[in-house]
Amino acid sequence: MTKTDDLSIELSRTYGKYLKGFLPFKYEDKTYSLVDIYVASPWTRCDVCGNHPIKYVYAIKHSDGSKLRVGNKCIERLTNCKVSGWFRKFKTKRENFIRNRRYLDGLDSILTAYKSSELPFKISENDIKRLHKAFERMCNGFNPTRKQKELAQNYISMGART
């Protein structure tokens, strides 16, 4: 398991918890729960207002098993909750983990080796601090800055050569 895998699994758990913790709500005198959120491919139609195309789909389910696919505007009107904001943040994090995979996994190995004094090359204390900072930033789902990328790349290629 790589660091990126760990982070992705942890993020999926957050998603599961979010869905479970989302309060049921009423629509046309029936109670629905939010069961899934995803990007539609191809874009689809909102089952509540008929709006087309909708990119983000909020799948809601009634206890009789019937499901509706709802767009951003309708889900927020029905639930009075900024669910699309939450989902966008979640999606960005997930994409960033994948995009930064080589830096995340590369720095994870370097920082782990450094801790156990097994690094086959030297890194200054200052650079270790900077790498830590970059690593934490990526673990929190953000992209590294250009400088952080350069620094990480520099040490990752050193690691690859040894």
Per CB under 5 A, the list member of 68, 71, 135, 148 interacting with Zn ion is 71
115: CB partners within 8 A, 6+ apart: none
Per CB under 5 A, the list member of 8, 33, 44, 51 interacting with Zn ion is 51
Residue 57 near Zn ion by CB under 5 A: no
Provide the mask over 16-35, with x wherever binding to Zn ion is found by CB under 5 A and - wherever it is not: --------------------
Residue 83 near Zn ion by CB under 5 A: no
Residue 46 near Zn ion by CB under 5 A: yes
Contact residues toward Zn ion (CB under 5 A) are: 46, 48-49, 51, 71, 74
